[in-house]
């Protein structure tokens, strides 16, 4: 069970690493195609490892690769790294500091059907809250489907 959890954590770190290098590639002059290709291969192999029962110990290797490549990103382009984290800073602050809507977002994300129902409940009276609950509900549903697929290999 520990290696499965570690595999899922390494998938999220690898996905973050791919987003980071895609940003670096789009906003700087550095060629990061090697890091992107190794990240994609690592993510694919990690998904295959999580679905198999035998070699889940490899999740540790994938996590080390993702963390090492994130650290190398600072060495590749320090300015690009600063821009990336500065660009997600306002979004992160706005998303998680609004205490009035944070509860609706969490409820809609964690209980995806509730978010979709809340979209229809608030559609006429409060369109902004309806859109917020609907987006969080759809995103939560997508995350739950991916997690079920990663953990059980059902879909």
Residue range 85-139, pLDDT digits in tens: 676 666 666 665 666 777 788 888 888 888 888 889 988 998 988 998 888 888 8
Does one domain contain both 14 and 90?
yes
Distance CA 77, CA 15 (A): 19
Does one domain contain both 4 and 74?
yes
Does one domain contain both 107 and 144?
yes
Tally the domains of the chain: 2
- Domain of residue 47, residue span: 1-95
Distance CA 78, CA 73 (A): 8
Coil, helix or strand for 22? helix
**What is the per-residue pLDDT for 155?**
46
pTM greater than 0.75 (yes/no): no
Does one domain contain both 108 and 89?
no
Distance CA 65, CA 57 (A): 14
DSSP assignment string, 23-89: HHHHHSS---HHHHHHHHHHHHHHHHHHHSSS-TTHHHHHHHHHHHHHHHHHHH-HHHHHHHHHHHH
Distance CA 48, CA 135 (A): 29
Does one domain contain both 73 and 9?
yes
Locate 65 and state its tokens: 């690769």
Over residues 15-74, the pLDDT tens digits come to 787 787 777 777 777 777 777 777 777 777 777 776 666 666 677 777 777 777 777 766
Does one domain contain both 27 and 86?
yes
Give exposure, 83-98, as e/b (b: 16+ Cβ within 10 Å).
Answer: ebeeeeeeeeeeeeee
Does one domain contain both 107 and 139?
yes
Does one domain contain both 104 and 141?
yes
Does one domain contain both 49 and 119?
no
Does one domain contain both 78 and 48?
yes
Question: Which residue among 48, 64, 95 closes a domain?
Answer: 95
Does one domain contain both 89 and 13?
yes
């Amino acid at each position: 069970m520990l290696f499965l959890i570690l595999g899922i954590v390494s998938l999220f770190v690898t996905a973050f690493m791919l987003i980071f290098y895609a940003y670096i590639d789009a906003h700087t002059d550095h060629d990061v195609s090697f890091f992107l290709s190794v990240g994609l291969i690592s993510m694919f192999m990690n998904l295959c490892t999580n679905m198999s029962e035998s070699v889940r110990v490899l999740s540790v290797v994938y996590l080390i690769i993702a963390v090492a490549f994130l650290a190398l990103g600072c060495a590749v382009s320090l300015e690009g790294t600063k821009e990336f984290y500065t660009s997600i800073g306002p979004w992160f602050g706005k998303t998680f500091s609004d205490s009035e809507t944070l509860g609706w977002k969490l409820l809609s994300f964690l209980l995806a059907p509730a978010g979709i129902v809340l979209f229809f409940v608030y559609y006429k009276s409060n369109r902004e809250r309806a859109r917020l609950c609907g987006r969080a509900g759809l995103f939560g549903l997508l995350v739950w489907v991916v997690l079920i697929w990663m953990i059980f290999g059902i879909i």
